[in-house]
Structure 1
């Protein structure tokens, strides 16, 4: 029997829905009952992960505990930056499928040694920590470009996924390619809402999609469940 997946979401809501759609698409089924049972806490009230004076940890821990008590057996966080508080989530006692580790494994499988990451400042640090032991060099935007990325991120969170947002994100991604990135990682769940492989001249790695595929593998017993503790 497949394991029940608990998803900590709402950071932001559109990105969580994108993850759930990719989770469904990644699940091999012959009938409706073959899909995973998924418990989702879409909580946009989680404190902003990008503000120095906020502490999302206790809220995320409570969400994880709530999902566990509702029957979840494996957890996933549909937000890259929130993985800074992964220990708080693991305090629930449940294993966590790490999104950043998953993206790194997928990038390495593609054969890349230098990857460009589009993500928040906090997420970029997390990606460096996860990918360096895998032998991967992380390329990031310059400081002024990162400011531009963050402004774009909040516009996307407000629902602006039109042509201007798509063109700006593509331009930022191309700057990473110009810095030597052999692949570009969508290291923020809002990125794939406005960027796709068709926009790039190098492989595009959607961390949201990679997480969805790994969650399916773990829940179906095709991959070992992370230790979680």
Structure 2
């Protein structure tokens, strides 16, 4: 019997559905019953993770507690930036959390990269800096103006704009990281992988959502131990 996975989602909804699709695709099955049971809270009303005056932490903690009460045994957060509140979420639920930031950073290390670039919101990039350093790598970030352009593109993706202009804009920003010395690029925002493909880059592209899904499958099927605290 596999462990039940609880997913904090809705940030945004399309990105959560994308994560769930990857989770399903990465689960080895021969019949429906082989899939992992997943309990998902898709809550688009979580306060803005990028607003310094918003308070998403208590809402995320309440969601986590609700998932635990519904039967979840392991948690995942389908949003990089929401991991700023990971400690609060874990304490509120009492459940182990499969950390997306840690998982994607390990995947970048496994490419052999010495420096990794991150396409993510400001607070998510700060978290990645900590975890990438723990893997013995340097961090490459976007210049200020390009970071502002990145956030504009993310906003457009959230409205459903995944057209050619947005795709090209995201590819250009990834190339900025490569030119600055990144030997691997982490899609550190759930929206990025919706418009950026590995074939678009001259360096390995790490899809944080896909890496999280892969590790959730492994943990829930008992192929690796439950994660410990941060």
Q: Matched residues in 1 for 2:208 and 2:139: separation?
A: 15
Say whether residues 1:123 and 2:124 are aligned partners.
Answer: yes
3-state DSSP of counterpart to 1:39: strand
Instruction: Report the Cα distance in structure 2 between the residues aligned to 1:94 and 1:18, rounded to whole angstroms.
Output: 24
Report the counterpart of residue 79 of structure 1 in structure 2: 79
Cα distance in 2 for residues equivalent to 1:12 and 1:148:
19
Q: What is the 5 A alignment of 1:35-50?
A: 35-50=35-50
C-alpha distance in structure 2 between counterparts of 1:189 and 1:9, whole Å: 11
Q: What SS is found at the alignment partner of 2:8?
A: strand
Separation in 2 of the partners of 1:228 and 1:20? 24
Secondary structure, in 3 states, of the residue corresponding to 1:213?
helix
Q: What is the CA deviation profile of residues 62-110 of structure 1, one whole-angstrom value per residue up to 9, with x for unaligned ones?
A: 0000000000000000000000000111011000000000001111111
Q: Partners in 2 of 1:37 and 1:113 — Cα distance?
A: 37
- Secondary structure of 1:141's aligned partner: coil
1:22 aligned residue: 22
- Which range moved further: 104-113 or 69-78? 104-113
CA contact (8 A) 1:93 1:228 kept: no
Whole-angstrom distance in 2 between the partners of 1:69 and 1:174? 44
Can you give the 5+ residue segments of structure 1 that lack an aligned partner in the other structure? none
2-side partners of 1:78 and 1:228: how far apart?
18
Aligned twin of 2:104: 103
Contact 1:94 1:228 in 2 (8 A): no
CA–CA distance in structure 2, aligned partners of residues 214 and 143 of structure 1: 33
Distance 2:219 2:21 in 1: 17
Aligned-pair Cα RMSD in Å: 0.8
Whether 2:160 is the aligned partner of 1:152: answer no
1:208 Cα deviation after fit: 0.3
* Alpha-carbon displacement from aligned partner over 1:102-143 (angstroms, at most 9, x marks no partner): 001111111111011000011110100111111011101000
Q: List 4+ stretches of structure 1 deviating above 6 A.
A: none
Relative to the length of structure 1, the TM-score reads 0.99
Deviation at 1:28, TM superposition (A): 0.2
